[in-house]
Amino acid sequence: MRGGRASRRWTLLIAAFCALPAAAQVAGQWRDSAHIWRAVCGHCHGAGVARPLFGTPLPPQAIIAITRNGLNGMPAFVTAQLSDHELERLAQWLREQPAGAQERD
């Protein structure tokens, strides 16, 4: 009986896990800056479509302003997708990456 209850609880846990957003990709759900890079930025900035950003000398405030409002062909990213905190960490993370290591995968 005990085993039965335990396995039922385990099944319920799996069900609950499955109901959570999988690899969710809006504000508050990103795993870390590398996740944001792989799912979003890297598709252009790590693939030769837009300027490379690893090790960028751009000040964080410039990265934040451009990401938030867009610039020329670059789309804007609203707070519902990237929180202010996530964006600040991303800007710092980009500056810390070794220049040249640009490929997404």
Partner 1 sequence: MTQFVALPPGLSAAEFERALGELRGLLGTDRVVAVADRLRPYQKMMIPAPDEAHVPSGVVMAESVTEVQGILAICNRYRIPLWPTSTGRNFGYGTSSPATRGQLILDLRRMNRILEVDAELGTALVEPGVTYQQLHDYLSERDIPLWLDFPGPGPIVSPLGNTLERGGGNTPYGDHFAHACGMEVVLADGRVLRTGMGSIPNTTSWQVFKYGYGPYLDGIFTQSNFGVVTKLGLWLMPAPPGHRTVLVQFDAEAQLPAAVDTMRRLQLQRVITNVGVMATAVMALSTFKTRAELYDGPGPVPQPVIDAAARDSGIATWNMTFTLYGTPAQIAPNLAIVTEAFEAVGGRVNPDFHDGSQVNELSLASFGILNWVGGGGLAWFAPVSPARGSDAARQAKLARRILGAHGFDYLAAPTLNGRDLHHLIALVYNRNDADEKQRANRCFEQLVHEFAQHGYGLYRVGIDYMDKLAGIYGSVNRDVNRAIKQALDPNGILAPGKSGIHP
Q: How far is the CB of 15 from partner 1 (least distance, A)?
A: 12
- Residue 1 or 20: the one with the smaller Cβ distance to partner 1 is 20
- Residue 6 or 43: the one with the smaller Cβ distance to partner 1 is 43
Q: How far is the CB of 4 from partner 1 (least distance, A)?
A: 26
Q: How far is the CB of 1 from partner 1 (least distance, A)?
A: 30
Q: How far apart are CA 13 and CA 84, in angstroms?
A: 32
- Residue 58 or 74: the one with the smaller Cβ distance to partner 1 is 74
The residues that touch partner 1, with contacts defined as CB under 8 A, are 19-27, 29, 39-40, 43-44, 47-50, 68-81
Query: Which three-class secondary structure state does DSSP give residue 15?
Result: helix
- Count of CB atoms situated within 10 Å of the CB of 36: 23
Q: How far is the CB of 5 from partner 1 (least distance, A)?
A: 27
Q: Which of 94, 31, 28 is nearest to 66 (CA)?
A: 94
Q: How far apart are CA 97 and CA 46, in angstroms?
A: 12
- Residue 5 or 32: the one with the smaller Cβ distance to partner 1 is 32
Residue ranges of alpha helices (H) inside the chain are 2-19, 33-36, 42-45, 60-69, 84-96
